[in-house]
Structure 1
């Protein structure tokens, strides 16, 4: 039970915003785990596998959930244990589970790297990967069905305000599901979107390879447009903000300094757009190669094209 009987009542019927955010992150992780399962099934069947996306999946898991999602949960759990000592044991077990998942995630990534180098069999990747997926789902189910409701029943509005004041609990930008997809995870972001789309379409229609490639190419272009818009917006805001600082700090020299600063920002903007253009061209070529590979498989299998 909480230590202070005079504590205010918990937050009420609506779940705290931090828990809502953590549940949303769980949905993102579940989408990545679904894609990982698809890739593992393809390895087991001997189908074509995008080994780079398989690597990106586990690189994402050890880069973002293990470094930002789980530590934020741990901080909340620690706060709960300080208030309700009866939960201390459960909190320690949850935190140990986070540590185990981080360790196992790095192990799966290592196995994938060795498999890509031809040093391990696909069977080892499948077994290790499926065990990781199983643990991830079991852990998230435990948190969502038991832990989060219990936390929400213990913490008060004041507790949540204290937690919200913690800088370390501010959510970090998700490199796949965030406002701006990080370059090193762009293939994963595209495949996750495609996988989610398949979840709706599967069982309703037979995949048409040409249409699918067209849709994925459209996805590439859409992400490029969104990325370009974000880059442009960021640079415009930086230009305006820095112009204000210059005008306030050195008003007499402001016109020349602002012009020089704008030239610098413009060059940076053009460099980022140029990189985005190159990445987009590379991604479109990759989609086309995948389409051709799948068409060749269909042809060998005697399927109609």
Structure 2
């Protein structure tokens, strides 16, 4: 009978417990540090910009005078940008995910496409700006209008939506589709009536969070030359436009010359944060609602 050293076992257990407590404390400090930094930033922005938010600020045009400057043009530009981004990304993204997961043959080509889509999800946003400037602004001669900006931002978030949709489709239990096939349903009927409804919460959640990133991005729009000052309200996808992040960017630069622009930038950040929080809350609500239904 082999002798068991209980003292050594107890020492090993105590050592593991000590390491576990140390690592737990380090992770706790990292979490607290991130929350403190976030709280300081939010409090600073609110204190600096809350007093500048009023109906004139929300409805006025851009102006060189800080007292008369407003962000209605940026709000409308963000709205028109999303009108281009949402249908393009949802149709292409979800359609690509369905094809790769349910129709494409497993092999080198499918693996090659899958790998490149995953890699594209991590490409810096400014690279997509260069791509959009080359294709949409210069090659197709759209200019720096809503359509060019929307297609550029669609390229940015499309890989993320594809990956999120694929993960949602993979999470659907296999026995559901097998039962559908067993009852004589075709593949498309199974996809439409069984797989997509079950995967819809994850698809919508990933899509909305990806669109939130598109709303907050600035670098691609800077590259394609989106203007920010003294332009009329956009009324269609072929009009020049600006968006909230662009306005924050330019007002932050101008704050070195005129101090009031820093307050305007802070007020615009508050509006953008509220918009992003609403989108994230919508994603959570949709996910919970459809999870209960399906």
Relative to the length of structure 2, the TM-score reads 0.29
Which structure is higher in RCO with an 8 Å CA cutoff and minimum separation 6?
2
Relative to the length of structure 1, the TM-score reads 0.28
